[in-house]
Chain A
Amino acid sequence: MVAWVLVLVAVLIGAQAIRHLVEAGSWLGVTLVAAALLAVVAVYLTRRRVPMKYLLPGVLLLLALQIWPVAYTVSTAFTNLGDGHRVSQEEAIDLIIASSVREVPGQARYRLTVAVPEGADPLVGELAYLLRAPDGGLQVGDPDGLADLLPGEAAVDDTGRIATAEGYRVLTAQEVNARSQDLSEFVVPVSEGVSIKQAGLSEAYQGRTTVVYDAATDTLTDTETGTEYAVQGARYVATDGSGASFPQGWKDNVGLANFDRVASDSALRGGFVGILIWNIFFAVASVLTTFALGLLLALLLNDTRLRGQRLYRSLLILPYALPGFVTALVWASMYNQEFGLINNLTGLGTNWLGDPHLAKVAVLVTNLWLGFPYMFLVCTGALQSIPTDVREAALIDGASPWRTLRSVTLPLLLVSVGPLLIASFAFNFNNFGLIYLLTGGGPFSSADSSQGGTDLLITYAFRLAFGSRGADFGFASAISIFIFAIVALLSAGAFRKTAALEEIH
């Protein structure tokens, strides 16, 4: 009964989603949602496939958010997706032509009100222009064209703009501001080569597009200057040799170009190899230092005669209990050259995070502080699960405490802690939060600001995608694939040695 209600809810939500997807014309989305719905119905409304009833939610999420992103990352790595290359070629041509609208001098302007269809989200909904023509006629314009509004359908305020219109929701000044990017590209086509475009917040003009597209030769021509533009590198570039081009490019397949860049550009390659080496060193050193300190403390406290163990343990795990972002930011402030605690106490005046070598040390020290309590917990748990009789047996056989530790305790400990060390390595290999919050990947040399002294591959890829130099999703995806490959290699090697896989009941 409960199952039927839940399936009904899922079907209703799915149907609603499909309705939206059909409206948006996303047939891929329709197919995927329909397939998911079918799976839900097939699994939950029959008596068979019992295991699948428990697996399906996880499987759907796994496919949508783990498998699909990996596949999409791989395909993106072979494209030039990024700033200026986000849309298809057809869309880019439309954008170029639309934005080439020039106002015809001397013509009267329209009074403009920006709106969205009633019920749509003002921040993402499809825009519409509510226009009052110079002759007083009221019209509504959208990317499909102009339509007349009847006098009863709209009301004009005393500034001469439409204040309300039936079926539309007028945007506030704030909302208009938030959508300035969309508005700058928004054009209402009137007739061939004639469009209406926004001029400021409350006016629009009717102008002529100056660029024409010739599908036969795949060229654009600026009718004002007569310049011809042809396809070159996923952009339209002027054929007169001036190098001028339109800013709007399109997403295109570039084959192995992104990978080639790392291999052929020597500065890039040097930096990349440096980052890779540091990345591996950082992960290995982090695991070893935190494990060593954690183990040491666990051994130190693993003595029943020691009083105050409980209190000591509680205090020692506090660094781990602090959220990681707090730790990283606090340590960043302690390393501050002018005001930081470390320089205050030592009087050194060292620029800890400004020197590539010192910054690496600083990062490792911080990660040691952040990570040792986890290893301490893990080692404590593992030590306590080692039966005391094996140690007693060693003692009776005359082994020294050091010998017992080395030959009995540690090997047993490593059996249970080993997989966690691998997991810790994998985590630190992509420890984005620590590096990003502590150093931001820096310090950066003045010569090349794209690669920093403490950059990991993941922070490097992040900067390529979201950094201030503009998005380069294609190249960043190629770096991600490098990370995939390295992690895959490492985990393949590690799993081969893991006994956990030998028996699965």
Chain B
Amino acid sequence: MSTSRTAPPLRRSVAPLPTRRRPAEKGARGTWLRTVGWRHALVAVALVWALGPILFILFAALNPAGTLSSSSLVPRAASLVNFEELFTDPIRPFWRWYLNTLIIAGVATAGSLFIGACTAYAFTRFRFTGRRPALLFLLLIQMFPALLAFIAIYVTFIKIGEIFPQIGLNTAAGLIIVYLGGSMGSNIWLLKGYFDTVPRELDEAAKIDGASHAQIFFGMILRLAAPILATVATFSFVGFINEFMMAAIFLTDTGHKTLAVGLQATFANNNNEYSGQFAAGSILASLPVVVLYLALQRQIVGGPTAGSVKG
């Protein structure tokens, strides 16, 4: 975690081959096979493994029969009937679940990013008693996710709900608060590592110009740290969308469910019957995450290791 660490490493650009081999050249094919050809072949195998199940979901979603028993890897017919059924199903409000998921994950991401950035700023720019043990403690607390104490959280929120029904069980607000509880432990090290790389001279210059610590933080540090904030936000957002256990404990009313809880309830017990609808729902549920990942691929490649690489 030294101060010389730079931004997440850039992906090396895909350079064109230094010299284009002419097909007429003798042995060129053999060279190609030995240098990169076998790599293409192995990657092709990996792609079959990686994409097979995804194709399966696509075909199942487009399969008009809509049952698992009629699904196969090769599509026989295509239609959007599964999507229509999914959208019009009165007892499974898919778009409601979708909205719930985006709201919960969005608010929790924004909140935890803000709290995390504040915490990291305190650790990177201020020296105070107990700083070092506190940092170690935060590293330790990451190992104990809130879900280990699910019973205590459940019982506590029953009691809270009796007095404040707005944030009790079966509310998005309650679940968001639980998610925010972990925002201090997660990502602090990643954020702090990045903040450390913002030169202190900038702070001092701003201070001389009369900026307060809040102005330095909100006006300067947060802006300079935009790349790492984007990376952390992506990981948090995806994490909250994927979170199942706490959501299943909290959200039991159909109208309050998230996609994870709702689709699980639809599918787990009616494995065969609803597989078309489930596949259609899965594709739509995956879209925001897939788009995020592909858009931020460059940051993500460097992201997970960025905090741990010693520069």
Chain A interface (Cβ within 8 Å of chain B)?
A: 17, 20-21, 24, 26, 29, 50-52, 54-55, 57-59, 61-62, 64-66, 68-73, 76, 81, 121, 123-124, 297, 300-301, 303-310, 312-327, 329-334, 336, 338-341, 344-345, 369, 373-374, 377-378, 380-382, 384-385, 415-420, 423, 426, 430, 432-433, 436-437, 440, 458, 461-462, 465-466, 473, 476-477, 480, 483-484, 487-488, 491, 495, 499-501, 503-505
In the A-B complex, list the 4 residue pairs whose CB atoms are closest, starting with the nearest. Answer: A65-B181, A69-B149, A58-B184, A72-B152
Which of A70, A308, A416 has a CB less than 8 Å from the CB of B305? A416
Q: A57-B115, A69-B152, A321-B292 are in contact. List 18 more A-B contacts (CB 8 A).
A: A58-B183, A66-B185, A69-B153, A76-B151, A300-B42, A305-B17, A314-B294, A316-B46, A326-B57, A332-B268, A338-B272, A377-B304, A420-B308, A430-B148, A440-B268, A462-B150, A487-B143, A503-B1
Which of B54, B213, B245 contacts A318, CB < 8 Å?
A: B54
B311 to chain A, nearest CB (A): 9
0 or 1 for each of B121-137: is its CB under 8 Å from A? (1 = yes) = 11000101000100110
Closest to A366 in B: B53
B203 sits at the interface (CB 8 A): no
Contact residues in A for B139 (Cβ distance below 8 Å): 495, 500-501
A345 CB contact (under 8 Å) in B73, B178, B259: B73
Binds A, one of B75-83, B87-95, B295-303: B295-303
A476–B282 CA distance with the chains assembled, in angstroms = 32
Cβ contacts under 8 Å, B244 to chain A: 324-325, 432-433, 436-437
A24–B163 touching, CB < 8 Å: yes
Contact A54 B121 (CB under 8 A): yes
Enumerate 5 A-B pairs (CB-CB under 8 Å) in ascending A order. A304-B12, A377-B301, A378-B305, A385-B9, A504-B136
Structural contact, B286 and A381, CB atoms closer than 8 A: no
**Chain A residues, Cβ within 8 Å of B142:** 423, 426
User: Given that A65-B177, A69-B156, A384-B11 are known contacts, is A303 also in contact with B282, CB under 8 Å in the complex?
Assistant: no
Contact across chains for B115 and A305 when beta carbons are under 8 A apart? no
Across-interface contacts of B49 in A (CB, < 8 A): 369
**Separation in Å of the B105 CB from the closest CB of chain A?**
10
B242 touches A324 (CB 8 A): yes
Inter-subunit contact A306/B39 (CB<8 Å): yes
Q: How many contacts A-B (CB < 8 Å)? A: 327
Give which listed residue, B15, B42, B184, contacts A304 with CB less than 8 A. B15
A312 to B11, CA, bound (A): 14
Asked whether A326 lies within 8 Å of B151 as measured between CB atoms, the reply is: no
Q: Check B286 against A322 for contact (C-beta < 8 Å).
A: yes
Q: Evaluate contact between A315 and B51: CB separation under 8 angstroms.
A: yes
- Give chain B residues whose Cβ lies under 8 Å from the Cβ of A81: 155
- Known contacts A70-B149, A315-B51; is-contact A384 B9 (Cβ 8 Å): yes
Chain B residues closer than 8 Å to A73, beta-carbon distance: 148-149, 151-152
Given contacts A123-B165, A381-B304, whether A301 and B39 have CB atoms under 8 Å apart is yes
Give residues of chain B (244-278) contacting chain A, Cβ–Cβ below 8 Å: 244-245, 249, 259-260, 263-264, 267-268, 271-272, 275, 278
Do A66 and B144 touch across chains, with their CB atoms under 8 A apart? yes
Name the contact of A326 in the complex, choosing from B150, B153, B263, B306 (C-beta under 8 A): B263
A331 neighbours in B (Cβ, 8 Å): 53
A504 contacts B73, CB within 8 Å? no
The docked-state distance in angstroms from the alpha carbon of A326 to that of B154 is 25
Instruction: Decide if B63 is an interface residue (CB 8 Å cutoff).
Output: no
Q: Identify the closest chain B residue to A457 (Cβ).
A: B148
Cα distance A124–B159 in the bound complex, in angstroms: 11
B72 touches which of A24, A308, A344, A501 (Cβ 8 Å)? A344
Min CB distance B102 to A, Å, is 13
B100 at the interface (CB under 8 A from A): no
B95 to chain A, nearest CB (A): 17
Q: Which residues of A contact B35 (CB under 8 A)?
A: 303, 305
| A329 with B278: CB separation less than 8 A | yes
Chain B residues with CB below 8 A from A378, complex form: 304-305
Docked-complex contact B309 and A385, CB < 8 angstroms: yes
Q: Does B106 contact A (CB under 8 A)?
A: no
A493 to chain B, nearest CB (A): 12
Residues of chain A within 8 A (CB-CB) of B36 are 303, 305-307
The reply to whether B136 and A501 contact each other, CB–CB distance below 8 Å, is yes
Q: How far is the CA of A329 from the CA of B304 in the complex (A)?
A: 27
Contact indicator B128/A51 (Cβ below 8 Å): yes
CA distance A69 to B153 in the complex (A): 6
| B residues in contact with A505, CB < 8 Å | 1-3, 196
Evaluate contact between A329 and B155: CB separation under 8 angstroms.
no
What separation, in Å, do the CA atoms of A57 and B180 have in the docked complex? Answer: 10
Residues of chain B within 8 A (CB-CB) of A499 are 310
User: Is A70 a contact of B152 with CB atoms below 8 Å?
Assistant: yes
Given A320-B293, A323-B241, A501-B136: A374 and B164 within 8 A (CB)? no
Query: Does residue B71 face the partner (Cβ distance < 8 Å to A)?
Result: yes
B282 near A326 with CB under 8 A, answer: yes
Q: Which residues of A contact B17 (CB under 8 A)?
A: 305, 307
Asked if B122 and A124 sit within 8 Å, CB to CB, the answer is no
Residues of A within 8 A of B272 (CB): 336, 338-339
- Report yes or no: B54 in contact with A319, Cβ–Cβ below 8 A: yes
Is B227's beta carbon under 8 Å from chain A? no
- For B54, the closest partner residue in chain A by CB is A318
